[in-house]
Amino acid sequence: MSFLVGPPADELLGFFSGLNRVLADEDCSYRPYDGDGLPGGLVELALDIPTVVLPDIHARPRFVRSVLDYELPELGMTVEEAVRCEEAQLVCVGDYFHGEGRVARRWREALAEFGQEFEPSPAMDAEMAEGLEALRLLGTLKSASPRFTQLLKGNHENVANEEGGGNHPFGKYAYEGAMVASYISLKYGERVLSAIYAFEKSLPLVAVGNRFVISHAEPERPYARERIIGYRRDPEVVYGLTWTADDRSEEGSVDAMLDDLLSTDRREGALWFGGHRPVFNRYRLRGGGSYVQFHNPSRSQVAFLPADRPPDPERDIIEIGEGQDTRDDQSAR
């Protein structure tokens, strides 16, 4: 099954319905339940295996595929094989839809299609095919290995383009949020739109590891563990862990949350990893040096965090050098 050529509606509905069942059945031993008995917003990662962290995806299926195919020298197997064998775990910080600057022209072309209710829609077809294929790759691994594949929510996980619940409508190169919602509704129908909406609402916000914590964005202010777990009824927590702009985090927030979320023996040398806003080199330190922002959309880079020592962004953030996705001079024409 591949979504690169655009899946039939029933296939897409079946895929997300199955993925939603996986998310609803997460074990409370690693994803504590909220007060309503639902899997909460915090995931406890395994402490004795390495962790592969993917920055923002933004409709880059070839990047995802290259990460899954990357061979881990210390294990002698690919990332995907290691995750399926429970020898490694994968965490993605979110933002699965919406290609960024590499396809800015495609968004402008798709905007014209939007005005014609996507008849025809070659630019938007290409954009959605890439976003759906990236989600297919990650969702398939999540279904196969739920405990060791964690997909976090970013601010772009808002397929209905809603205002509320910690979400805001999105537009950058065009009216991406409104265009995706309209496209899915017109091309696939409301049942598919509802299934993707339910998927996004089921994603956790924070993953807690051995000497690190991961979220989409830098925390806007300190949030207690129980508030993160109860995120479904706490829009402020959803917003504050997915939308925080650069230099808008309350001073000391990252360190305060590291203190709260990590046991004493795991606190020394601990760092918080996230993406959300682009950086122009491999990474940038924020939050007094405790927050590692490593979303560079022009690079195919990931963080490989070992289990036996504190993280070191100089050593652990690497560029795999493969998986270049569509650029404006390559597609939609």
- Taking only Cα atoms into account, the Rg of the chain, rounded to an integer number of angstroms, comes to 19
In whole angstroms, give the CA distance from residue 150 to residue 141.
Answer: 10
Amino acid at 209: G
In whole angstroms, give the CA distance from residue 289 to residue 77.
Answer: 33
Domain boundaries, the chain: 9-319
Fold of 9-319: Purple Acid Phosphatase; chain A, domain 2 (3.60.21)
In the β-sheet with 291-293, what is the strand arrangement from edge to edge? 42-44, 206-208, 212-215, 271-274, 291-293, 284-286
Q: pLDDT by residue for the chain (333 residues), tens digit each? A: 444 446 789 999 999 999 999 999 999 999 999 999 999 999 999 999 999 999 999 999 999 999 999 999 999 999 999 999 999 999 999 999 999 999 999 999 999 999 999 999 999 999 999 999 999 999 999 999 999 999 999 999 999 999 999 999 999 999 999 999 999 999 999 999 999 999 999 999 999 999 999 999 999 999 999 999 999 999 999 999 999 999 999 999 999 999 999 999 999 999 999 999 999 999 999 999 999 999 999 999 999 999 999 999 999 999 987 656 877 765 544
Surface-to-core class of residue 328, CB atoms within 10 Å of its CB (0-12 exposed, 13-18 middle, 19+ buried): middle
Q: 110 with 123: CB under 8 angstroms?
A: yes
In the block, tokens 């406890």 appear at: 44
* 166: its two tokens: 């910690």
Whole-structure pTM value:
0.96
Cis peptide before 297 (omega within 30 of 0): no
Cis peptide before 7 (omega within 30 of 0): no
